[in-house]
Amino acid sequence: MVGSMEGSFSTPPPPVSQKLFVVAGIVITVYGLDEIFQSSARETACLWLLHPRLQTQNCMAPLAAACLGDWNRREEKKDIGLVAVTFDQRNHGTREVDALANEAWRSGNQRHAQDMFSIYHGTATDTSLLMTYLSSYLFPSSDREIGLNLVLGVSLGGHAAWQCLFHDPRVSAAIIVIGCPDYFSLMSDRARLSKLPSWTDSSPMGTQFLGSPEFPAGLVKAVEMHDPATMLLGRPDHPLRQLNEGFPSAVEQATLLPLVRRTLQGKRILNLSGAADQLVPYECGKGFIECLKGAIAPASWFSGGFYLKDLQFDGVGHQMSPAMVDQTIQFIADTLQQTVNAAPTAPKI
């Protein structure tokens, strides 16, 4: 299975409540809703869990239980409650219409690049759509609302989580597990390994890949509009792609600052990668990650503008390891704790 969740837990976490809803024609599972109604929490946060390619929302149930179980054992739960939501990505599980569209070039899908990007772009769009209406389904008889949204994605879900983070201002934090923010880089690496004619027949190799039948011009335009790395740094041959090697000029800062402020200001990011991952290598997103790190370094051009924790795990391939689960749970707790600490306190009488 791509982006395996097997082995993420040595023992299954204790279950939490779950309820099914149909929102905008999409079947979603909400975890932890009963616990919210049993608590005195004044606010509610939602953790959106986006599953890997070739899997379904059901594989995220143990992760939902682990994250909610940890938070519900903490003292701060009385101030802010947490629910989790899963749903099948487009063309997966209950929404599958074409099995081949979920496969790669090597498995006979000649439209792999178009299919994968459009599917997880659709997932990011669906997440925002569901975010708009979720409160009205969960709390129809009260004015309670979801006040904080965190997105966690694994593999294909991780790619989508990057888009959610960049495109929806309601997303305060994202945990990206074995995902990539740079589609041009990821698919160029995959085209090279798949020995596609558009890669091998050009000189130098790969120079004719973008705009070829395997990566059509229409897809190039879509990636430029929605892919985080391309939005920020441009196409692979753009000078901004070298930002990880130096400080941006004043002219470059004038280009970057408005976009970074709009997409990342005040947000929190946890990026978890397997050092032995060959399907989504860390190197494919490294340039973009290094650019973000450089932006928020002390005294840099966007110092303190957002939070980024970037971890690689030795010996881990394309899977979510138990150590990644531990980091995820702690990051979620820290994010919620910050919200509790920032909330105004009631006056003492």
Phi, psi of 173 (to 5 degrees): -155, 150
pLDDT score, position 46? 98
Strand order in the sheet with 26-31: 18-23, 26-31, 80-87, 43-50, 146-154, 171-177, 268-274, 307-313
pLDDT score, position 240? 73
List Cβ neighbours of 258 (8 Å cut-off, separation of 6 or more): none
For residue 278, the one-letter residue type is Q
Per-residue pLDDT of the chain (349 residues; tens, 9 = 90+): 565 677 788 788 999 999 999 999 999 999 999 999 998 888 999 999 999 999 999 999 999 999 999 999 998 778 899 999 999 999 999 999 999 999 999 999 999 999 999 999 999 999 999 999 999 999 999 878 899 999 999 999 999 999 999 999 999 999 999 999 999 999 999 999 999 999 999 889 989 999 999 999 999 999 999 999 999 988 887 767 766 555 678 888 888 899 999 999 999 999 999 999 999 999 999 999 998 998 898 888 888 899 999 999 999 999 999 999 999 999 999 999 998 887 654 433 3
pLDDT score, position 340? 82
DSSP 4: B
pLDDT score, position 346? 43
CA distance 79 to 82: 10
pTM higher than 0.85 = yes
pLDDT score, position 89? 98
